[in-house]
Amino acid sequence: MKTAWTVDQIRRAEATIMGEPDPQTGVAPGDDGTLMRRAAAGLAAAVLRELRPASGRTVHLLVGPGNNGGDALWAGAFLRRRNVRVRAHLLTGRGHEAGLAALLRAGGTVTDVEGLHQPCDLVIDGLFGIGGRAGEPDRAIAEAIGDTPVVAVDVPSGLASDSCAPSGLRADLTVTFGGHKIAHLAQPDRCGPTELVEIGLDLDATGPPALRQWEAADVAAAWPVPTRHDHKYTRGVVGIDAGSAAYPGAARLALAGALNTGAGMVRHLGDADASLLAEFPSVVLAEGRCQAFLAGSGWGDRDTRAARARLTEWTDTAPCVLDADALRPDLLDGLDLSDSLLTPHAGELARMLGVERSEVEAEPMDAARRAADRFGATILLKGGLQYVATPGETTVQMPVPGPAWTARAGSGDTLAGACAALLATGVDATLAAVLGASLQALTAADHPGPRPPERLAERFPDTLAALLAER
């Protein structure tokens, strides 16, 4: 499992080692350069692996005025010891004093932005550090780099560390220090693969991480596996009210998600449709006890009074997954949603919060947190990367990322069914969201291509069997 931390947490962990910086000089009492050289050594090692063989190759350094530029300069000094030609470009006219001196002693050269047009094998981006603001790089810099591979120092320049918004340079590799930042997990297309260099920071002492990204092994370890003493009722009974005359397929998709995730029994409690039995003969078309409910998928323009009555009854009875057309503030307000899961996409979450969709897409973590606190429910924000926010929790969970093949109509219905099946087993809403979304993503990765959502759901058991075989 990868964890990501805020800039403030990184700074506080650094201050524990070095002390607080002097307000006049900006220099911390314990800042003897040890952490910077440790970071730079890790950066240089990563660059050498990218260049292999390194001897005789040429590296350009994009150097800003702060510690990020110092990391790049010290790394350049280390690279010179391996016979790498290093040219530093002081794009603001100045650089870290000790790092610059070390590079010059090692035989590196220094120039300005004009020197960027000279050919090289790799660029080290040390312009701005983790405290930099979001923004696009200078066009001249981007054009000069062209297609040359870029290794970013800590974060690509112009990408805000605490933000999910895409901006800045694109790196082929990012080497970061002490701990991952939010942008590394939220903007993998900008950062490329991320290599973490440990420099001795105790980030756990700063509080819980801001973001936690799950991996396949984490999903396998957390999955609720039935025992030989379980039966259909203890495995979890799911009640589903999905579909309508306008969207009849939503019921079939939700049922497919729940059944293939392992629900002990599934009841279809929407408009009775005996044709469902032809495809899903185990589905029960009758009322009865349920450990979890799913409502809203494919409802369309359902009567508000009837919809409100159903949601009130069900949320008072058992945990619920509320999806699609159930995600209206006029339906949600006043309900006890403390053990329930809401599964909006960006447009639906924007409607719930009364904001523009672009605002949700720019900062999805923040939007998910706001919605969780606003409605008192766990939020699974669906999308290319998915975020799970829990009321009162500072850490946002990111399910296992998957390929873009799942971005098609009906995928949300099968995902809602999967989450409802998990909720019925007794796991909490946060875990149900993470496991359900991860299962769908892992299945899409294992079976790539444009599979319809119901066909992908049929592969859920195969994916789960492979996961659990490694447990």
Which residues make up the CATH 3.40.50.10260 domain(s) of the chain? 2-207
Sign of CA pseudo-dihedral 44, 50, 55, 60: negative
Tens digit of pLDDT for each residue in 395-406? 999 999 998 888
Residue 17: the pLDDT is: 83
pLDDT at 384 over 70: yes
Residue 129: the pLDDT is: 79
pLDDT at 114 over 60: yes
Residue 18: the pLDDT is: 73
Residue 309 — pLDDT band, cuts 50, 70, 90? Answer: very high
Residue 272: the pLDDT is: 64
Q: Is 195 left (phi over 0), alpha (psi -120 to 50) or beta?
A: beta
Average pLDDT rounded to a whole number, residues 428-436: 98
Residue 156: the pLDDT is: 93
Average pLDDT rounded to a whole number, residues 211-217: 97
pLDDT at 27 over 60: no
Q: How many CB atoms lie within 10 A of CB 225?
A: 11
Residue 392: the pLDDT is: 94
Tens digit of pLDDT for each residue in 240-287? 999 998 898 999 999 999 999 999 999 999 886 778 788 899 999 989
Sheet holding 211-213, edge to edge: 180-181, 2-5, 211-213, 396-398, 387-389, 378-381, 341-343, 320-323, 292-295, 237-241, 265-268
Structure tokens at 51: 């260049």
pLDDT at 10 over 70: yes
**What's the CA gap between 137 and 142, in Å, rounded?**
7
Average pLDDT rounded to a whole number, residues 69-84: 96
Q: What is the pTM of this model?
A: 0.92
Residue 211: the pLDDT is: 98
Structure tokens at 199: 């420099």
Residue 141: the pLDDT is: 81
Sheet holding 173-177, edge to edge: 109-111, 85-90, 58-63, 122-126, 150-153, 173-177, 194-197
Residue 179: the pLDDT is: 96
Residue 335 — pLDDT band, cuts 50, 70, 90? Answer: very high
Residue 452: the pLDDT is: 93
User: Which region among 54-63, 132-141, 219-228 has the lowest average model confidence (pLDDT)?
Assistant: 132-141
Higher pLDDT, 143 or 365: 365
Residue 19 — pLDDT band, cuts 50, 70, 90? Answer: low
Residue 94 — pLDDT band, cuts 50, 70, 90? Answer: confident
Residue 77 — pLDDT band, cuts 50, 70, 90? Answer: very high
Residue 165: the pLDDT is: 84
pLDDT at 313 over 60: yes
Tens digit of pLDDT for each residue in 179-194? 999 999 999 999 999 9
Mean confidence (pLDDT) of the chain = 92
For the chain, the distance separating the N- and C-terminal CA atoms, rounded to the nearest angstrom, is: 15
**What's the CA gap between 308 and 303, in Å, rounded?**
9
Higher pLDDT, 271 or 47: 47
Average pLDDT rounded to a whole number, residues 159-166: 89
Residue 256: the pLDDT is: 96
Average pLDDT rounded to a whole number, residues 207-227: 96
Long-range contacts of 353-360 (CB under 8 A, 24+ apart): 354/329
CATH hierarchy code of domain 216-469: 3.40.1190.20
Contact criterion met (CB below 8 Å) for 296 and 269: no
Average pLDDT rounded to a whole number, residues 321-334: 96
pLDDT at 288 over 60: yes
Superfamily of domain 2-207: YjeF N-terminal domain (3.40.50.10260)
**What's the CA gap between 380 and 430, in Å, rounded?**
8
Average pLDDT rounded to a whole number, residues 59-86: 94
Q: What percent of the chain has pLDDT over 90?
A: 74
Using the structure block, give the residue that is written with the tokens 């960006």: 346
Tens digit of pLDDT for each residue in 443-459? 999 998 899 999 999 99
Residue 358 — pLDDT band, cuts 50, 70, 90? Answer: very high
**What's the CA gap between 432 and 224, in Å, rounded?**
10
pLDDT at 465 over 60: yes
Q: Using alpha carbons, select from 238, 286, 244 the residue that is nearest to residue 259.
A: 238
Residue 137 — pLDDT band, cuts 50, 70, 90? Answer: low
Task: Give per-residue burial for 272-301: e unless 16+ CB within 10 Å, then b.
Answer: eeeebeeebeebeeeeeebbbbbbbbbbee
Which residues make up the CATH 3.40.1190.20 domain(s) of the chain? 216-469
